[in-house]
Amino acid sequence: MEKNLDQRMVKRSRKRLIISGKYFELYEYEKPIFWNFPPNKLAESVGNKKKERRVDSIIRTQNNIRRICNANEDWGERLKFITFTFEENIQDVALANEFWKKFNRGLRKRFPGTKYIVVVEFQKRGAIHYHAVFFNMPFVYGLQNELVKLFPWGFIDVKCIHHVRNTGAYISKYLTKETLDNRLYKRKGYFCSRGVRKPVLIREMESIGSIVSENFMVEFNKSIKSDMYGKITIKKGTIK
């Protein structure tokens, strides 16, 4: 009975559609993909190759960052790319994140409703710093000085990135395979503020068929081979 219940929980499809704001990604698989595994089955499917799992995790994280940025780039304000660097050589992730939490509390009071995504990065000297995209930071004269008051532990560099066509691709490059640093093992390499929009994932084939239409402008079309899924066709582009 329990085995039959587990089988009913698992779902399958040959398509996967991800919509991130005005961008879409459509994946079509020769062999079906499965999801909605019971927790114990999911743990078994992960396997024991620790380093390969970390590389896969970084790739997934890069994709998540790219999609979240693209889903939030139209808040109406100029996007701001801000780097936060500690003056001290802080290498402890937990300690650095505590400072960020203090900054975030001050940010919510000074600029309520501000939406952002922030990525943890390690400098060559081992120090931690943060790259963040602020989606709806209001225009304030002397913004950098305002932020320094909220982040008195180091330095801040503010850049407007309204000229960037694909914001997600721009920011996701800051999370590379160098993030295999053991200090991020079982920790998130990025985090978001409250209210940030998330990309929409659709795997039911009937729903995908009704959504994909001539309004989807394909700008990238490629097929690859996979040992697990056979031929995978990948289409990416924008929605009119």
Q: Is the pLDDT of residue 2 over 50?
A: no
Other CB atoms within 10 Å distance of the CB of residue 188: 13
pLDDT (0 to 100) of residue 180: 54
pLDDT (0 to 100) of residue 5: 43
| 165 secondary structure, DSSP code | S
Q: How far is Cα 142 from Cα 5, in angstroms, rounded to an integer?
A: 60
Banded pLDDT at 99 (limits 50, 70, 90): very high
The stretches of the chain forming alpha helices (DSSP H) are: 2-9, 39-46, 50-71, 93-110, 143-150, 167-172, 205-211
Report the candidate in 65, 70, 74 with the shortest Cα–Cα distance to residue 132: 65
Looking at every residue in the chain, the average pLDDT score rounds to 82
Q: Is the pLDDT of residue 158 over 70?
A: yes
Banded pLDDT at 1 (limits 50, 70, 90): very low
The more confidently predicted of residues 38 and 96 is 96
Q: Is the pLDDT of residue 50 over 80?
A: no
Compute the C-alpha angle 76/82/85, nearest 5°: 165
Compute the C-alpha angle 233/216/78, nearest 5°: 110
How do the domains of the chain map onto residue ranges?
2-71+199-239, 80-192
Q: Can you give the pTM of this predicted structure? A: 0.82
Length of the chain (residues): 240
Specify the CATH number of the domain 80-192: 3.30.70
User: Which of 13-22, 35-44, 182-191, 221-230 comes out lowest in average pLDDT?
Assistant: 35-44
Residues whose CB is less than 8 angstroms from the CB of residue 92 and which lie 6 or more positions away in sequence, other chains included: 128, 183
User: Cα 198 to chain center, whole Å?
Assistant: 9
User: Which of 41-55, 129-143, 165-179, 198-212 comes out lowest in average pLDDT?
Assistant: 41-55
